[in-house]
Amino acid sequence: MPQPTSVPIAPRHANTVTHYDQVVDVVIVGFGAAGTCAAYEAASAGASVLVLERTSGAGGAAALAEGIIYLGGGTSTQRGAGVTDTADAMEAYLLAACGPEVDEDKIRAYVAGSIEHHDWLVERGMEFEPTICVETQMAPNGTEGLVWSGGEDAHPFRDLATPAPRGHIARTKRSTGWLLMQTLSEAAIGAGAEVVYDTRVERLIVDGDQVVGIQATRYGEEFLVRANRGVILCAGGFIYNDEMVGRYAPELLKGTWKVGTEGDDGRGISMALALGARTKGMHAGEVSLPIIPPRRLVEGILVNGHGQRFINEDTYMGRVGQAALYANDATCFLIVDEACYEPNWMGIEAAWVCESVEELEVEMGLVEGTLAATIGLYNRHAAEGKDPLFHKAEPFVRPLVPPLGAFDLRPGVAPYAPFTLGGLSTTVDGRVHHVDGTIIEGLFAAGRTTSGVCAFGYASGLSIGDSTMFGRFAGRAAAEAKE
């Protein structure tokens, strides 16, 4: 679905429009995690709502995702599972994990709204079993409803805030993401939102400085909609637009498994930029580099192309990916011994297996002595059950004993799964900032079209989490906006 370059992105002036095909209170661009929630709330508040979706169905990127939803502070699911969590602990974690330069207002609003949002999802039909998955970071194979999805129980976060599992997962034979989008799209339509598919929104219509509608293309025909109260951009990020990624976040071009859909081409962001919208963190990207399951693999050590460790192996896979990609030239290996070896790990076999460290570093093409120095130092402290250098948790720390194997975690072999975190700068209720710091009247945005809770750091479940919650806020705010 390549984007036609012939249609201008610059706003169209209302005085060039003689007839609107439809007139509603609120227009929503995109029917994914943010769009469905915005549509539900706007329609529930009594507004007439038209959703324009480019593809032939609901869901966006969220429907393709595992669908973990990051919520906490003591949700009923957490309490049912015996988890003690507080808003303070959740806030402290997010402030540390999502920076640098987080939007503190968004994080506070997200924490404050977490329990209500959880219950709203449950009321819509999502079921989260009050049990905790033993494996971390990934959706469980079983029916457990909670997962440690952000490395809360590992350094550095375990030392900053009381850890709790906050990734909520639903019982479903397909992914939680699929179920969530089924549920939310039905909820939005049930609340009275009208949805038009196969319709590509191309540009905004403005009257003076105010957004008053959109111009779309539908089956090759121009389709014009007047929005009396507001337009909400819920059109995803830009990971599928290599030109934009190259200009804003070039490191992400090394990623191998793009997370998103072809609709994540940045058009929503660009339409607002053409109005002078402010952005935040356009270079930020989440890059998952999973080294689990099984979790015993974190008893091994991660080394870079210099044979040096660079992170605690038990941390969140998104932090591993970011560290590997941004700070270590996307060159990374996992060294294991027999006790933690997994012969068929995510379809990848160990690239090298050797009887000694000295042989292994030669086989891997590392400089002589590098891996031996790294493992020597690691084992010396591990013999005392400690990892003072990177603070891996003690249960995973023990000396590595030859023979040793090494997994090649470079792009092309291992999955570097990136998506963009940067986007429009918005208020908590989704109003879009102009570069001068004022609000662009009539324009709202949510989801990955915006910079949300995650300025740079990430935990699984935060993108669907903030897309759905802030999508709701934006829907409500637009419904209440002045005509």
- Residues found near its own copies in the complex (CB under 8 A): 5, 8-10, 99-101, 209, 246-251, 253, 270, 273-276, 278-283, 306, 308-309, 326-328, 367-370, 373-374, 376-377, 380-381, 388-390, 425, 434-438, 455-456
Residue among 79, 73, 32 at smallest CA distance from 51: 32
Rounded to 5 degrees, φ, ψ at 107 are: -65, -45
**Cβ closest to its own copies, residue 248 vs residue 345:** 248
Distance CA 178, CA 60 (A): 10
**Cβ closest to its own copies, residue 175 vs residue 449:** 449
Q: Is 465 helix (H, G, I), strand (E, B) or coil?
A: helix
Distance CA 401, CA 371 (A): 13
Look-up of token digits 């790294």: 374
Q: Compute the least distance from the CB of residue 332 to its own copies, in Å.
A: 13
Distance CA 302, CA 289 (A): 11
**Tokens read off for 255:** 């990623």
**Cβ closest to its own copies, residue 75 vs residue 425:** 425
Report DSSP letters for 384-396, one per residue: TT--TTT---GGG
**Cβ closest to its own copies, residue 327 vs residue 401:** 327
Q: Compute the least distance from the CB of residue 205 to its own copies, in Å.
A: 15
In 296-424, where does DSSP find H-type helix?
Answer: 317-322, 357-363, 370-382
**Cβ closest to its own copies, residue 250 vs residue 294:** 250
Q: Compute the least distance from the CB of residue 310 to its own copies, in Å.
A: 8
Residue type, 47: A
Tell me, letter by letter, the H, E, C secondary structure of 289-313: CCCCCCHHHHHCEEEECCCCECCCC
Q: Compute the least distance from the CB of residue 105 to its own copies, in Å.
A: 14
**Cβ closest to its own copies, residue 75 vs residue 450:** 450
**Cβ closest to its own copies, residue 242 vs residue 338:** 242
Q: Strands (DSSP E) along 415-467, which ranges?
A: 417-420, 423-424, 431-433, 439-445
**Cβ closest to its own copies, residue 8 vs residue 57:** 8
Q: Compute the least distance from the CB of residue 431 to its own copies, in Å.
A: 16
Q: Compute the least distance from the CB of residue 399 to its own copies, in Å.
A: 14
Q: Compute the least distance from the CB of residue 173 to its own copies, in Å.
A: 42
Residue type, 246: G
Q: Compute the least distance from the CB of residue 481 to its own copies, in Å.
A: 20
Q: Which helix (H) or strand (E) holds 404?
A: strand 404-408
**Cβ closest to its own copies, residue 306 vs residue 410:** 306
Please enumerate, as own/partner, the contacts of 210-216 that have beta carbons within 8 Å and a separation of 24 or more.
Answer: 210/440, 210/441, 210/442, 211/11, 211/275, 211/440, 211/441, 211/442, 211/443, 212/14, 212/442, 213/14, 213/17, 213/20, 213/27, 214/27, 214/29, 214/52, 215/12, 216/52
Q: Compute the least distance from the CB of residue 155 to its own copies, in Å.
A: 13
Q: Compute the least distance from the CB of residue 274 to its own copies, in Å.
A: 4
The answer for residues whose C-beta is within 8 angstroms of residue 340's C-beta and 6 or more apart is 296, 297, 298, 299, 300
**Cβ closest to its own copies, residue 369 vs residue 395:** 369
174 by Cβ neighbours in 10 Å (0-12 / 13-18 / 19+) ranks as exposed
